[in-house]
Amino acid sequence: MIKKLALERILHKQGFGTRKMCRILIVNGQVTVNGMVCDDPDANFSLEDLHYTVNGEAWQYQANSYLMMHKPAHYECTHKTQFHPTIYTLLPQPLVERGVQCIGRLDEDTTGLIIITDDGQFIHKISSPKHHVPKVYAVTCKHAVSADQLSALLAGVKLLDQEETIAALAVTQISDYVLHMTLAEGKYHQVKRMIAAISNRVEALKRIQIGALHLPEDLAPGAWCWLSPAQCALLSTDPSQS
């Protein structure tokens, strides 16, 4: 059976404020559904393929939201600002109201691919260490990277507060100073600490891939876009199999 809901409840579920606020938006004629103004908050609509606008902005009903962002530098991956604005200020308010969270955090000065969703099970699936979703970072180092340093990253290096060594899954040298480094885990400051362990230093860090999903070249820093179901599936796909 196709599920139907009153427009007021739909807008509330999609993050447009309290039931009362949603009712006011509708009664004021600020909402269209499938191309027509609807000023009846109690009108029922099927949730399937439901397109609506609020104050002229187009939306599609989504039980859960999945999106990717190109995180810019000088933004924090937290909901509460500490020293810098948060990445959530780059999203439309209704999405933030829905309680979206990023999957794994990037440092304030790290840029690149970050996944944001309000689906708790999906967050668990992608971030759980059990699933070993590999992540690829473009690392610009302060000093030219030697062959010995490259080998050490692949063989395993010892981080300051860790007992066992930790190795990159893969490292590709792009230029004297730039590496593409693939990691299976996401320990705190892991790339910076691994590069420090080979007596070098990270000058710039950008995440360019999670699983088999690449950061699109045309997604500018600060921009975001919806993820299709196929793109969501790429996140848990082994890149060597894709």
Residues engaged in binding ligand URA (CB under 6 A): 106-107, 110, 189-192, 205
Catalytic residue among 40, 107, 161, 218: 107
- Closer by beta carbon to ligand URA, 106 or else 171: 106
Amino acid, single-letter form, for residue 202: V
| Closest distance to ligand URA from the beta carbon of 137 (Å) | 6
CA distances from 127 to 105, 121, 133, 137, 191 (A): 10, 10, 7, 16, 17
Amino acid, single-letter form, for residue 95: L
Block residue for tokens 């996401």: 186
The 10 Å Cβ neighbour count of residue 138 is 20
| DSSP-assigned beta bridge partners for residue 206 | 111, 138
Write out the two tokens for 126.
């992608």
C-alpha radius of gyration, the chain, whole number: 22
d(CA 131, CA 127): 7
Instruction: Provide the pairing of β-strand 111-117 with 202-210.
Output: parallel
Find the helix or strand (DSSP H, E) in which 71 lies.
strand 66-71
| Closest distance to ligand URA from the beta carbon of 32 (Å) | 41
| Closest distance to ligand URA from the beta carbon of 212 (Å) | 19
- Closer by beta carbon to ligand URA, 96 or else 196: 196
- Closer by beta carbon to ligand URA, 204 or else 233: 204
Residue from 137, 136, 143, 138 nearest 177 by CA: 143
For residue 176, indicate whether it is catalytic.
Answer: no
Find the helix or strand (DSSP H, E) in which 123 lies.
helix 120-127
- Closer by beta carbon to ligand URA, 191 or else 232: 191
- Closer by beta carbon to ligand URA, 9 or else 192: 192
The 10 Å Cβ neighbour count of residue 203 is 14
| Closest distance to ligand URA from the beta carbon of 177 (Å) | 17
Residue from 204, 73, 188, 189 nearest 142 by CA: 204
| Closest distance to ligand URA from the beta carbon of 187 (Å) | 8
The catalytic residue positions are 107
